[in-house]
Amino acid sequence: GAVVSQHPSRVICKSGTSVKIECRSLDFQATTMFWYRQFPKQSLMLMATSNEGSKATYEQGVEKDKFLINHASLTLSTLTVTSAHPEDSSFYICSAPANSGPEAFFGQGTRLTVV
Partner 1 sequence: GNSVTQMEGPVTLSEEAFLTINCTYTATGYPSLFWYVQYPGEGLQLLLKATKADDKGSNKGFEATYRKETTSFHLEKGSVQVSDSAVYFCALLSSGGYQKVTFGIGTKLQVIP
Binding site for partner 1 (CB under 8 A): 1, 6, 32, 34, 36, 42-46, 49, 93, 95, 97-98, 101-109
Which burial class, exposed, middle or buried, applies to 21 when counting CB atoms under 10 A from its CB (0-12, 13-18, 19+)? buried
The sign of the dihedral angle between the CA atoms of 25, 52, 22, 64 is: negative
Choice between 14 and 102, CB closer to partner 1: 102
Q: How far is the CB of 25 from partner 1 (least distance, A)?
A: 14
In whole angstroms, how close is the CB of 75 to partner 1 at the nearest point? Answer: 17
Report d(CA 54, CA 50) in Å as an integer.
8
Residue with Cβ nearer partner 1 (78 or 92): 92
Q: Which is nearer to partner 1, 82 or 113 (CB)?
A: 113
**Minimum CB distance to partner 1 smaller for 12 or for 104:** 104
How many other CB atoms sit within 10 Å of the CB of residue 63?
10
- Residue 83 CB, nearest approach to partner 1 (Å): 26
Percentages (nearest 5) of helix, strand, coil residues in the chain: 5, 55, 45
